[in-house]
Amino acid sequence: MVKKISELFVIGLQEALFETHGKMALALNRIAGRAMLDYLKDHDMLEASGHSTESLAHDIQEIIDTLDSVENVEAEEEGNEIRVRIIGCPFSEAKQALLRRDKMPVVCPFASCILKITEETFEQRMRMKEINVDEDQCEFVMEKLE
């Protein structure tokens, strides 16, 4: 029952953030994810195992699988951007409920750790450029900063 209550509360928070901030709520991911980042750092779960998109996808999948489970993670580099796709994430049900209500999920608990592990993998400061969401997957687009 607690899991269902938590899920419904997250859906309500997402709706409130979308209604009050629109897509600008995406900027809240870094702040909202601090507690998770701190936990991952404290438990040595936020270390890059390599310097490629393959190692990045593997590391992200391991992080999420440690906390819950995910179907698949894909990563690719396109010029100045790194794209990470999460397929079958633990929050798929909440995401789909929001999409059915014509609300865009704007805060993801994994966004901060995806950005941080991407920075560590490529040893470069990055910014979250956009998050694209559909029924099946979420795509995180990060941009390298000079």
Q: In what order do the strands lie in the sheet with 81-87?
A: 72-78, 81-87, 137-144, 126-133
How many domains does the structure of the chain reveal?
1
State which residues form the domain around 79.
Answer: 2-144
**Structure letter (DSSP) for residue 26:** G
User: Which helix (H) or strand (E) covers residue 132, if one does?
Assistant: strand 126-133
The domain spanning residue 40 has which CATH number?
3.30.1380
pTM: 0.84
What are the tens digits of pLDDT across the range 7-60?
A: 788 888 888 888 888 877 777 777 778 888 888 889 888 889 999 999 999 999
